[in-house]
Structure 1
Amino acid sequence: MKLKLSIIGLFLFVLGSTNVFSQETGHYTPGVQGLKVASLPPPGFYYIMHNVYYTADTYYDGNGDKAPIDFDITVFANVHRFLYVWEDVIFGANYGVHVLVPTTYTDISISDFGVNDNKFGVGDIVIEPLILSWNKQKFDAIVALAAIAPTGSYDVNEAASPGKSFWSTMLTFGGTYYFNESKSWHASILNRYEIHGEKKDFDVTPGDDLTFEWGIGKTIVSDQIWGVGVGGYAHWQLTEDKGNDVLYDSSVKDKVFAIGPEVTCYIPKAKLNLELRGQFEFGAVDRPQGTKFCFSLFKNF
């Protein structure tokens, strides 16, 4: 049996009744971006904080069937992002740099495997030195390149470890389309492609992952600027895990989908944007299927 848990990056593979081996999948956790997920904000400095709550008590096997195990996980992530955007730097695009520092609390229980662990800590840091964004009348477009460093603590015997113990490279590309001149109706898609390095101390290299997030919404202008709509994400593992320590069926690749509502509010006088969204997962294969809620704060200076 192959078990993966991308929301915290760690789960347990059990071979027979004696050998326990820990292994990971992709770094990126979807569902924390907004309705205009592929639109970079105007030039300036931004502090962004995401508060993410995820819970699941169901695990789906490689055939997409509910696994007969007593499984439960709760994760709370407090994510801090620092973004600076310069105007019209190269190829007519705004240029940005971005650093993301996650802190997570994870409580995981798998009674069938004797797992009962919880842990709080700083996770793996994202460094994004290249962001290019074009803002036109009918559309926005974005491309970016990031490295994800294994800065979070990791212990093979701790299922709730916040770190993953391998590097990743992430390519981001997407766009937002505006359906009218006032840009009040919009649809957005952002794709993230991850290529992973080898896990430290183990001969396992996780397969490549593709995640896209999307949103369709309406902007309503009053004293504040409101946004309402629906968003979601889709995740697929595209290539097989590799290495001599891959003892499971590497041909099984995980996937999951999610959809849910969102409301946003920008307060111009405070230069503050607030976002609240819920995401309900479905169609899981070889991974948990749960519910995610996210409250985000954007402050520009």
Structure 2
Amino acid sequence: MDNDLNVTSFITFAGHVEVEKYRYLYFMIMLTVYILIICSNSTIVYLIWNHQNLHEPMYIFIAALLINSVLFSTVNYPKLLIDFLSERQIISYSACLFQVFAYYSLTASEFLLLAAMSYDRYVSICKPLQYQTIMTKTNVNVLLVAAWLVPACQVAVSVILSAKKKLCAFTLNGIMCNSTFQTLHCVRSTVLNVYGLVVLVNVVISPTIFVLFTYTRIFIIVYRSCREVRRKAAQTCLPHLIVLINFSSLTVYDVLLLRMGTEFPKIVSFIMTLQLLMYHPLFNPIIYGLKMKEIYKPLKSLFCKMP
């Protein structure tokens, strides 16, 4: 009976700032950003798919990362755009659970894809003679499938456990369903908190440590190499590190600070949530499209051909 009540319950978002006054401004800004995200990420993916010289593991992982950004945005932006134009910002509990599942599984996938990219760079720079043997097409496909499947399975367990919890509150202090949705439960679950911590370690903290470890090894080796090797390593590794640092900082805010119940002014929470939704889907194609020479050349050629 409680499960049936939860499914038919509606959650109200209370995190919007003066949405009645600025609804059309919010809508136009976010619609523009969403279109930019779709176009910019899709363009880089198209270039990688269309140019044979980019059919290498590093660029395949970049394409997967950008596809992940498009999926992440598509999960969140349409609902946000509808809310800006609606008199009431509400969502069914079942839809809220789906948003939580998609949001966190795709967020975790980003960390695992960054880890796969760092491993590819590590093998390429530190074990160049074994690169073709290690980074085979089969191994690349396994890493890609694991990057999406492992987080989805682990987050799904948390969502299924949450769906069985009884609700005693129906107002969420945010503009989307994130880790704070557990505050709606009548009783906070120790099992959910512990399992959430395990998932956080598995798909966020461990990949981050792995990336930092591999790039430390890379920089130690290239430091002893010639200037050309150092330049090439910087061109391919620094973009990944920049993306990781920025994304990790925003994820820490979302997963840890909000989960700990830290109180922030409403405007601060609103801005930080928008940054989570906007920053890396817009940032990734800029970093990989403009900072990586092999992608920038066909990108420049594409725009030069346009009338």
**TM > 0.5 fold call:** no
Instruction: Write 1 or 2 for the structure with the bigger share of strand.
Output: 1
Q: Which has the higher contact order (CA 8 A, sep 6+)?
A: 2
**TM-score, normalisation: structure 2:** 0.22
Greater share of helix: 2
| TM score, norm. by length of structure 1 | 0.23
